[in-house]
Structure 1
């Protein structure tokens, strides 16, 4: 992807709320070279006095020629960039964007192995790009997503995930609620633990490709559990979220 680190001017063509604090921006990016699910972009904001702030955001959309780029941004109240992207920008506004970036935390359609996705909070964004790419390609690789959120209201893409479980054969989704569960949920709130990954993940003997994304402590805990359960560390790829 030549020229992928050039700054480009992207235009917001649409925006929608995923939750009360997470917003998806749909961007038209001229001469976009395409991207792989799991890659991210850099966004740069520059004030009138010349001060600039730059943050990285995972791409939420699967790539289609001539298509748009979608970013889902989680607002952090003390952040410099995310409050602006969530609460200020609107359709027709322009942003400076650079990417795509990253080549390790990516899933490729030609990878035949089963896939285990483990997400904490907004760490679901690049994993959603993988799910969407699989759906677009009508992939046959079995996918399992284990998605940890505080409450049902904090789950991004909840309706789409429900639809995809119904319509995309081989996709399974398991939610883990850490603070509040749905009224009919069979267990109390909990964090992802050994029992969760052992019950709802793939057995190590299946040699799945594992992608873990979320806050640092979450990622380290989940990855350590996977290794303890017998998964090959070389097949566990992690991405930590930070910054705002």
Structure 2
């Protein structure tokens, strides 16, 4: 019998159930994945597009849904001239099918049973929202602390959900806003928790250095870096 890891590696045709747009910033997909392997918060899926001439393009996107959700929710940030995100945002409709495989990733995955600190910038909040939903559904929201950053309210994915959960939110380019600087991260660092840091290279490098300076053990810091986006977050 195939293991979960072996099943997760198989390409499947997922049916698009719902498509929602986060302004002009991103698209939120809800997918029905056949023979789905239940994910852990923090894991991701790979979407693959295939042209008639056989050319393929694939990109990875973090799961946003809780493991208990019957559907897989992905937050797809729109990238200028992006092959996959452009197609998803402009062409994909409910009822379409998309090739996918997953869930993938062991390092940046929360077990839901031990204390965790999630720090995300821009679209990097996506896997943290999966952690949040899981913590709430299992009745242990006290295990998870969240700090997130975006340019403005409009640029922050799942803002209302994060606000309702009491997440620390920095709005770096909004009037009266703030930043996730060394002092803020130093105040929330928790050596007894696993720190999950997700966002652009510049953002994650800054957050990782702040955590280390605050005494967060290196072994407890897990980082997931996205490609060069830079459109919705600063370095804190």
After TM superposition, the score normalised by the length of structure 2 is 0.90
Counterpart CA distance in 2 for 1:243 and 1:58 is: 16
1:180 matched to 2:174: yes
Question: Which stretch shows the higher mean deviation, 98-107 or 189-198?
Answer: 189-198
Which structure 2 residues correspond to residues 44-193 of structure 1 after superposition, within 5 A? 44-64=48-68, 67-111=70-114, 113=115, 115-163=116-164, 165=165, 172-181=166-175, 185=176, 189-193=177-181
Partner of 2:233: none
Partner of 2:211: 226
CA contact (8 A) 1:21 1:86 kept: no
Counterpart CA distance in 1 for 2:95 and 2:130 is: 24
Counterpart CA distance in 2 for 1:110 and 1:180 is: 35
Partner of 1:198: 186
Counterpart CA distance in 1 for 2:53 and 2:228 is: 22
Q: Which runs of 4+ in 1 moved over 6 A?
A: none
CA contact (8 A) 1:19 1:156 kept: no
The Cα of 1:203 is off from its aligned counterpart by: 4.4
The Cα of 1:78 is off from its aligned counterpart by: 2.2
CA 1:37–1:243 in structure 2 vs 1: closer, same or farther (change >3 Å)?
Answer: same
CA contact (8 A) 2:189 2:216 kept: no
The Cα of 1:25 is off from its aligned counterpart by: 0.4
Q: Provide the aligned length of Structure 1 versus Structure 2.
A: 225
SS in 1 for 2:157: coil
RMSD (CA atoms):
1.7
CA 1:180–1:134 in structure 2 vs 1: closer, same or farther (change >3 Å)?
Answer: same
SS in 2 for 1:3: helix
After TM superposition, the score normalised by the length of structure 1 is 0.87
Counterpart CA distance in 1 for 2:195 and 2:100 is: 29
Counterpart CA distance in 1 for 2:141 and 2:31 is: 29
